[in-house]
Amino acid sequence: MHELSLAQTLLETVEAEARRRPGAHVVTVGVRVGELSGVDPEALSFSFEALVADTALAPLALAIERCPRRHRCPRCDFTFAATDSDFACPRCGSTPTRCVGGDELELTFLEVEEP
Amino acid sequence: MTRIVVEQKVLKENDRIAAALRARFRDAGVFCLNLISSPGAGKTTLLERTLEGFPAGERVAVLTGDIQTENDARRLACFGFPVRQITTGGTCHLEARMVERALADWRLEDLELLFIENVGNLVCPSSYDLGEALKVVLLSVPEGDDKPLKYPAIFHKAELLVLNKLDLLPYTPFDLERARAHARRIHPGMEILEVSCTTGAGLNTWRQWLKERREAARREAALTR
């Protein structure tokens, strides 16, 4: 359960951003969470809500974009979202394919209401 | 309403410290491993078996992380190599700044091999880079052969899987072939070693693996210097 400390880190970043824009109110924080990041999006949301409630930033929404594990086919160069059961290339049927994404844990955007 | 594009890693600060640690390890010629498993899979026992096989004067050290107690450091200190406990006080994983702090008064130039034993947990440690050369995941037979599928993040990120407690195979439904297949479904080409720290089976292969990886890291460091 490290989502609480991740939520705290996120909140600190938002606070720093808010300080750079006096008078602005951050309404939404966008994050990208990959399937292989080891982060549970629901636990992250829950922790974030709990932490935000006690700050001047409330109300502040968290918008989570979930990213699937992605593979690239070495033969035809096709990139695709891979499921646990089948990592074969859906275009040419090649296997094995190489994992090229899905471990993202990124702050992507802030939505801000400016005065 | 304005949308500000940020695009930065949530763990940017951890990653910054980890990158600095990695550079220090490289400059000092230290090969660093981050050992990750659930509680009780045998990280400390594997380290005991590993340390006892080293000659006195081997330039090896251990940082061992736990939520509470100094038990592991006590178990490992009797081999005469530097050991330091990191007690996280509740945090379920090690972070780069904890490693940085624990190493503050150590001369890395005196070391060639550093083991970081993470807090027992198959989930959270996978998110935190500690500056290691590579992650090693341990899975023990009583835990079940389905764990790679249930905890894909760590099996994806670890370079080596050590299957431990092989002596318990006759007493459990654990299927070795299925465990290997599950691990390689998550991580095609994953290296897998099978050991029993109780009987000693497979430990020579583990020592050989360590030796080869250390030498490879040394050659690589010499090339970039």
Closest to A85 measured CA to CA, from A61, A69, A101: A69
Does residue B117 or residue A17 have the better pLDDT?
Answer: B117
Chain B residues with CB under 8 Å of A10 CB are: 10
In a domain, A36, yes or no: yes
| Sequence-separated (6 or more) residues with CB below 8 Å from residue A32 | A64, A65, A67, A104, A105, A106, A108
Chain A residues with CB under 8 Å of B187 CB are: 99
Amino acid A2: pLDDT: 86
Strand partners, B9: A106
- Measured in angstroms, the CA of A25 and the nearest CA of chain B are apart by 10
Which chain A residue lies closest to B5 (C-alpha atoms)? A109
Contact (CB, 8 A) for B141 and B174: yes
> What is the residue range of A32's domain?
3-13+24-70+102-113
Sequence letter at residue B89: G
Helix ranges restricted to H, A20-115: 41-52
Chain B residues with CB under 8 Å of A17 CB are: 4, 6
Chain B residues with CB under 8 Å of A38 CB are: 123-124, 126-127, 153-154
Long-range contacts of A2-5 (CB under 8 A, 24+ apart): A2/A39, A2/B91, A2/B92, A2/B93, A2/B123, A2/B124, A2/B127, A2/B128, A3/A39, A3/A40, A3/A43, A3/A44, A3/A46, A3/A47, A4/A47, A4/A50, A4/A51, A5/B91
Amino acid B225: pLDDT: 63
Q: Where does the pLDDT of residue B224 fall: very low under 50, low under 70, confident under 90, or very high at 90 and above?
A: confident
Per-residue pLDDT reduced to its tens digit, A14-27: 998 888 888 888 99
In a domain, A97, yes or no: no
Mean pLDDT across chain B, nearest whole number?
Answer: 94
| Sequence-separated (6 or more) residues with CB below 8 Å from residue B19 | B129, B131
Closest to B42 measured CA to CA, from B212, B151, B194, B149: B194
- Three-class SS string for B36-74? ECCCCCCHHHHHHHHHHCCCCCCCEEEEEEECCCCHHHH
Closest to B125 measured CA to CA, from B36, B186, B222: B36
Chain B, residues 165-194, CB within 8 A of chain A, namely 185-189
pLDDT surpasses 90 at B99: yes
Whether A27 sits inside 8 A of B1 (CB atoms) is yes
Tokens 């709990």 appear where? A50
Chain B, residues 93-122, CB within 8 A of chain A, namely 93
- Measured in angstroms, the CA of A110 and the nearest CA of chain B are apart by 5
CATH of the domain at A38: 3.30.2320.50
Angle between the B203-224 and B43-52 helix axes, to the nearest 10 degrees? 80
Which chain B residue lies closest to A113 (C-alpha atoms)? B1
CA distance B139 to B194: 10
Nearest to B153 among A37, A84, A113 (CB): A37
Which chain A residue lies closest to B126 (C-alpha atoms)? A38
Per-residue pLDDT reduced to its tens digit, A45-98: 999 999 999 898 999 999 999 999 999 999 999 999 987 567 889 999 888 888
- Per the structure, the count of domains in chain A is 1
Amino acid A87: pLDDT: 82
Does residue A64 or residue B223 have the better pLDDT?
Answer: A64
Whether B222 and chain A come into contact, CB under 8 Å, resolves to no
Q: Where does the pLDDT of residue A1 fall: very low under 50, low under 70, confident under 90, or very high at 90 and above?
A: low
Whether B126 sits inside 8 A of A106 (CB atoms) is no
Q: Where does the pLDDT of residue A115 fall: very low under 50, low under 70, confident under 90, or very high at 90 and above?
A: confident
Amino acid A84: pLDDT: 58
Helix (H, G, I), strand (E, B), or coil: what is residue B178? helix
Average pLDDT (B43-61) is 96
In a domain, A18, yes or no: no
In a domain, A8, yes or no: yes
Beta strands in A6-115 (DSSP E): 25-34, 61-67, 70-72, 79-81, 98-101, 105-113
Whether B10 sits inside 8 A of A9 (CB atoms) is yes
Amino acid B185: pLDDT: 86
Average pLDDT (B109-129) is 95
Extract the tokens encoding A23.
Answer: 């008078």
In a domain, A94, yes or no: no
Amino acid A91: pLDDT: 92
pLDDT surpasses 90 at B16: yes
Contact (CB, 8 A) for A40 and A107: no
Q: Report percent pLDDT > 90 for chain B.
A: 85
Whether B11 sits inside 8 A of A105 (CB atoms) is yes
Strand order in the sheet with A98-101: A79-81, A70-72, A98-101
In a domain, A38, yes or no: yes
Cis peptide before A68 (omega within 30 of 0): no
Q: How far is CA B137 from CA B43, B158, B176, in A?
A: 9, 6, 16
Per-residue pLDDT reduced to its tens digit, B172-214: 999 999 999 999 988 988 999 999 999 999 999 999 999 999 9
Sequence letter at residue B30: V
Q: Which domains are present in chain B? A: 12-219 (3.40.50.300)
Extract the tokens encoding B64.
Answer: 């061992």
CA distance B8 to B15: 11
Amino acid B130: pLDDT: 98
In a domain, A84, yes or no: no
In a domain, A63, yes or no: yes
Q: Does the predicted interface ipTM exceed a cut of 0.85?
A: no
Amino acid B65: pLDDT: 94
